[in-house]
Amino acid sequence: MAEIRNYTMNFGPQHPAAHGVLRLVLEMDGETVVRADPHVGLLHRATEKLAESKPFNQSIGYLDRLDYMSMMCNEHAYVRAIEQLLGIEPPPRAQYIRTMFDEITRFSNHLLWIASCGIDLGAMTVFLYAFREREMVMDMYEAVSGARMHAGYYRPGGVYRDLPDHMAPYKETRWTKGKSLKRRNEWREGSLLDFIEAFAVDVPDKIDEYETLLTDNRIWKQRTVGIGVLTPEKALQMGCSGVMLRGSGVEWDLRKKQPYAMYDQVDFDIPVGVGGDCYDRYLVRVEEMRQSAKIILQCVDWLKKNPGHVMLKNFKVIPPTREEMKDDMEALIHHFKLFTEGYCVPEGETYAAVEAPKGEFGCYLVSDGANKPFRVHFRAPGFAHLSGINEMARGHMLADTVAIISTLDLVFGEVDR
């Protein structure tokens, strides 16, 4: 009789459902996964080491490139850590802008998640729907920071600049003109805040559209219900955070439990799952999108009523404006010192965490009093989630592994750092 042996196969690093550069070595018994051993690090860029050789502000750009689906949330953790050590607090308007853009980022992340998860499980249409909205989110990023993805917008002490009064409209092309151009520019006649408001008012209807495609879809449910079940105890042991934890029924959200920025001033709910399977994580993410829209509207309302500074006026940390530089010697000196040397952060260590779309994104910062960090460590949610994939995938079919990887919401920029 022929001997039956387990079969080892490679999943990735070029597989489209591996969400980047995950190499998963799977030991298979027929179609069933016996052991999953992820090999990560293919995107390791030593961000933490690079940050040690640069003044504090110059590393903000690297943070965008960690989790490149939720750029501003990463920046938020880093600038909060610096602010804690410096003992400064940004003005309220900057805090509201950060809250709003954190939520816009969460929205954008979940849109991309629903799109790619749909494709992984064979639902093409939702991808097209989600990218239609994501385009507008990218436009918001572009309007406020000049970059569509890697914004570099948050700074210690506030945000780089105030929200623009003007939203760039579409220009006439051979394909977009007349009525269709008018329709596309309908929201873009006022300021950025008007655009964001129109978007956030409209978007629950768009979320309904995604839900009609997926929530009661028989195939979708067959692929996700009861797959990759994570009990609350296991989720805690594995170091899960964010949706992974809430999908398993643990009511934990840093925005509520350890509020930062202006999250204690806005009203929103925390959706919690019951089963801890892929379907519950999907439901939690969809509901989070709705809650994000709610928070965005509250922030828009406040920001419209309260103009003010978006940066602290502390020239020891924050550079003066160009205008001030032109007629004030001292401002010029400050500007020169801040851009050649940077500021020195008092000796100490801190840990600042934010509720990033994927979970708890933390920044552990050690300063020895220099103008560069002595050691900075980023706690990426995806790293902890991926480490538990062996336990989650064991006993499932190969195709279910795709569903599990997908609902872990991995981005290898942050897993590998």
Partner 1 sequence: MSATPKAISEMFRDRFGDRVAVGETFSGIVTLEVDTDAWLEVCRALRDEEDFSYEQLTDLCGLDYLSYGQSEWDTTDASTDGFGRAVEGMGPGRFDWAGRPEARNVKQRFGVVVHLLSFRHNRRLRIRCHAPDEGMPIVPSLVEIWSSANWYEREAFDLFGIIFEGHPDLRRIMTDYGFTGHPFRKDFPLIGNVEVRYDSQKKRVVYEPVQIEPRVGVPRVLRDDSRYKTDEVDQAADARAEQIAAEDTAANGRKS
Of the pair 286, 389, the CB lying nearest partner 1 is at 389
Please pick, from the candidates 387, 394, 398, 399, the single residue that binds partner 1 as defined by CB under 8 A.
387
What are the C-alpha distances in Å from 247 to residues 68, 286, 409?
23, 12, 13
> Using CB under 8 A, which of the segments 26-34, 70-78, 180-188, 361-369 binds partner 1?
361-369
Q: Is 238 in the site for partner 1 (CB under 8 A)?
A: yes
> Using CB under 8 A, which of the segments 24-32, 158-166, 272-280, 380-388 binds partner 1?
380-388
Rounded to 5 degrees, φ, ψ at 350 are -150, 160
Runs of H (alpha helix) within 146-187: 178-184
CA 94 to chain centre: 19
What are the C-alpha distances in Å from 97 to residues 101, 105, 239, 242, 263?
6, 12, 30, 22, 11
| Cβ atoms 413, 149 nearer than 8 A | no
**Backbone dihedral region of 46: left (phi > 0), alpha (psi from -120 to 50 degrees) or beta?**
left
**Terminal C-alpha separation, the chain:** 49
We find the least distance from the C-beta atom of residue 39 to partner 1, in angstroms, to be: 8
Of the pair 201, 366, the CB lying nearest partner 1 is at 366
User: What is the C-alpha to C-alpha distance for residues 298 and 294, in angstroms, rounded to an integer?
Assistant: 7
| Cβ atoms 19, 405 nearer than 8 A | yes
The pair of structure tokens assigned to 403 is 């569903």
Q: Is 351 in the site for partner 1 (CB under 8 A)?
A: yes
| Cβ atoms 412, 40 nearer than 8 A | yes
Of the pair 207, 244, the CB lying nearest partner 1 is at 244
We find the least distance from the C-beta atom of residue 416 to partner 1, in angstroms, to be: 7
Please pick, from the candidates 104, 196, 352, 356, the single residue that binds partner 1 as defined by CB under 8 A.
352
Q: Is 241 in the site for partner 1 (CB under 8 A)?
A: yes
Runs of H (alpha helix) within 163-253: 178-184, 192-214, 218-224, 232-237, 243-246
We find the least distance from the C-beta atom of residue 257 to partner 1, in angstroms, to be: 5
DSSP string, 79-97: HHHHHHHHT----HHHHHH
> Using CB under 8 A, which of the segments 46-54, 144-152, 162-170, 269-277 binds partner 1?
46-54
Of the pair 154, 412, the CB lying nearest partner 1 is at 412
Please pick, from the candidates 206, 364, 394, 399, the single residue that binds partner 1 as defined by CB under 8 A.
364
Please pick, from the candidates 215, 374, 397, 398, the single residue that binds partner 1 as defined by CB under 8 A.
374
Q: Is 370 in the site for partner 1 (CB under 8 A)?
A: yes
Burial of 32 (0-12, 13-18, 19+ CB in 10 A): middle
Please pick, from the candidates 151, 200, 384, 393, the single residue that binds partner 1 as defined by CB under 8 A.
384
CB neighbours (10 Å) of residue 14? 9
We find the least distance from the C-beta atom of residue 237 to partner 1, in angstroms, to be: 5
Q: Is 362 in the site for partner 1 (CB under 8 A)?
A: yes
We find the least distance from the C-beta atom of residue 132 to partner 1, in angstroms, to be: 37
Of the pair 225, 332, the CB lying nearest partner 1 is at 332
| Cβ atoms 246, 193 nearer than 8 A | no
Please pick, from the candidates 150, 221, 375, 394, the single residue that binds partner 1 as defined by CB under 8 A.
375
Touching partner 1, residues 87-146 (CB under 8 A)? 87
**Could you identify the residue written with the tokens 């050649």?**
340
Question: How does DSSP classify residue 16?
Answer: G
Q: Is 41 in the site for partner 1 (CB under 8 A)?
A: yes
Longest CA–CA separation in the chain, Å: 91
Q: Is 250 in the site for partner 1 (CB under 8 A)?
A: yes
> Using CB under 8 A, which of the segments 95-103, 125-133, 230-238, 323-331 binds partner 1?
230-238
| Cβ atoms 263, 291 nearer than 8 A | no
> Using CB under 8 A, which of the segments 106-114, 300-308, 345-353, 402-410 binds partner 1?
345-353
What are the C-alpha distances in Å from 68 to residues 8, 22, 73, 161, 263?
32, 16, 10, 22, 23
The pair of structure tokens assigned to 178 is 């007349």
> Using CB under 8 A, which of the segments 184-192, 210-218, 238-246, 402-410 binds partner 1?
238-246
Number of residues binding to partner 1, judged by CB under 8 A? 56
Q: Is 13 in the site for partner 1 (CB under 8 A)?
A: no
The pair of structure tokens assigned to 180 is 């269709």
Residues near partner 1, by CB under 8 A: 40-41, 44, 46, 48-50, 52-55, 84, 87, 236-239, 241, 250, 252, 257-258, 314, 316, 340-342, 344, 346-353, 360, 362, 364, 366, 368-372, 374-375, 377, 379, 383-384, 386-388, 416-417
